[in-house]
Structure formats: structure tokens, C-alpha cells
Amino acid sequence: MRSTFYTEDHEAYRASVAEFLRREVEPHHGEWEAAHGIPAEVWTSAAAAGLMGLAVPEEYGGGGEPDYRYRFVVAEEIARTNTTSFGVGLGLQDDIVIPYLLDLATDEQKQRWLPAMAAGELIGAIAMTEPGTGSDLQGIRTTAVRDGDDWVLSGAKTFISSGMHAGLVIVVARTDAEAGSRGFTLFVVEQSDAGFTRGRQLEKVGLDAQDTAELFFDGVRLTADRILGQEGMAMRYLMERLPRERLSIAAAAVAASEAAVRWTLEYVHSRTAFGQPIGDFQNTRFVLAELETECDIARAYVEKAALALNLGELTAVEASKAKWWTSELQVRATSRCLQLFGGFGYMLEYPIARAFRDARVQTIYGGTTEIMKEIIGREQAARYARR
């Protein structure tokens, strides 16, 4: 079946993305993984090539293109080249941090931060997770207390993607212990703010080139213009923007699953065992037939979700369905494909080994599979309670 998801403009953009990755990323990605970081100049190059700040309006130096299908193209090319750490860094900016600023920042705040972000000169991060608080955001202990016209921010965050290099961090803090879900506020912290420090860079199972850090806020004094949006509205803002983040993970998961199947098909039909191509064995055919079918079905759902996002109609439940199913598919696909590579699949020189390693976190960050199912289940229960 021929897809009508993309237009000629999307395919032209794909060619430019592929060329940038071929020239600027693929030859160096292994070095970045060994060094556990991506050089700052890569982000400015990516922005100049149109890979960052796609939805940022042109008046702030961005691409002025909100169509999510362009981000989907980037996810597919990242998966094809197996440059996942770089792709996660891009996704953090365009699908998580920048949308908060586009939707919630004042004109003055946008002028202050968006041009540098669209140029790749300023890297952003969002700090929600704490050492004692994972999926339960209501348990956040980081606080911001009024002191005259200012706020004083204190606490610690962990598992913060791009935390080592971020020049701007959106921090979720408790501002009213008695207000329940309306007792949390978003603040913007800059790297030069006194009292803001970084802890160690965390060692992970995968995504070796993507830095993840601990962050500490020791009495960071912030003026009122560092509040993002309205006081007490953080939880609502998070819930409104998590669907895009989860769609980003789903798009990457579908693309990575498809890439794993392609690599494996090429391998099993070029390598022989017991006098015949591995691809001619029934078990091999069945495994790959199942995975290709699941990828096709997953893509249809995620493409539909992307179009819904474009229309402003993607719901939390739909995004949760896309996120848990595709991320679990990615883990399953990379594992089963690695098995068909045999011993070579366990060698990091083969892309399937690196894809297997990098896939595992997909079912965890952005909301675990279990949390996704809980969101869906609550909506089901509420639906029947209304009958």
C-alpha cells in the first residue's frame, strides 16, 4: 500500500537531512559515544542545516514549520543511520523544551531564549525527575519560596537529559504545599545563576553520547520573570505537553524497529548456514514476517497520531497508546533481530547491537509502559462510570 503521509516537500527535506547526517554525524558518532558527549558545534551546524528549531517562528530565527511530519522524517533518518544519541538530543530540543517556550513564554522571554535555541547555541533541558520521585510527579520535593519579589529555588533533580551541557533548564518546583496539583510552578534557570550546579554525568546502559546528569539548586534566586506560564499551573502544563513528547518517542520507536528489520533482512539473505541462506529457514521467515507486519501496523497508528497532533487533536490517551506499544515493539524487534545475527549481533561494530542497547530506555522515559497503561485504563474506567 502506497503511503500518502508525506509530500514532495517532506522528501526534499529528507534528502537534506540525510546529507547532513552522512557528512556531519555518521563519521563521528562512534567517537562521541566513546567520549560520552556531542561537541557543542554540532548543534549549531544542525540548526544551520534546518534540523533544529523547526517550529520556532522565523521572527526568532527558526524554521517556522510546525508540521510534525518533518520531525518524523528526522526520526527515520536517525534510525537509518543508527545515530540515536544525536537524535535524542534533537528530540529533546524540538519536541520537549522548545514547545514549552513557544506555548508558555512571554514575548520578552521568547526574545531572550528562542533565537539562541533555534541557532543551536543554547541547549535546553527539562528537570522533573528527582532522586526520590520518578513517575509520581506529585511527590516532587524541589521547592521555590517567595522572598520579596523574588523566588528562591532549592532541591535536586536526576536523570536529566542534556543536563551537563544545558544552558537553560526548565525546572518543576513546589510553590504551595497546601494546593495539591495546583501547588507546582515552572521556572527557567540559566547556567550562570548562582547556586545552580551540576553533579556527575550518569553512566547508562545505552545512548552513550547523550549526556544525562544530576542537577542541584542551592538557594537559586530567581526574579519573577523566570516563571514560565502562570504560578501553580505546572502540572497542567506538563500534562498538556506530554502527548507530543510521547509521540516523539513513538515515532523514533517505529523508525528504529523498521531499521532493525531492514538490517536483518539484508543480513539473513546474504549469509549462509547449513548450505542455504539463513533467510530461507522457516523460523527466520516467520520472525521477520511477524515483525514487518507489526511495524506496518504501528506506523499506521503513529502516522494518524502525527496528523492529529498537527490539528491540535492528539489526546493523552492516544499518545499513551502509541508510546507504550511502539516502544515495547522496538525492544522486542531489536532483540529478536539480534538473535538472527547470531554472535555477530552481540558485537558493537554491527548496528543491531547498538540499536538493541539504545532501545531499552524507550519503555521507561517519557512515562513507563505501566504508566501509559494506567492512563489508558483510567480513561476506560471514567468512560464506563459515565454510562
Counting DSSP H helices and E strands in the chain, the numbers are 12, 10
Cα separation, 101 vs 226, in Å, equals: 12
Alpha carbon distances (Å) from 338 to 330, 351, 355, 356 = 12, 10, 9, 7
CA separation for the pair 196, 52 (Å, rounded): 26
What type of residue sits at position 49? A
Determine phi and psi for 164, rounding to 5 degrees.
-75, -30
Active-site annotation holds for 245: yes
Catalytic site residue from 65, 245, 303, 318: 245
Q: How far apart are CA 26 and CA 358, in angstroms?
A: 16
Radius of gyration of the chain (CA): 21
β-pairing verdict for 184-190 and 168-174: antiparallel
Of the candidates 310, 319, 299, 300, which has an alpha carbon nearest to the alpha carbon of residue 255? 299
Q: Do the Cβ atoms of 125 and 196 come closer than 8 Å? A: no
Burial of 177 per CB tally in 10 Å (0-12, 13-18, 19+)? exposed
Any idea which residues carry the catalytic annotation? 245
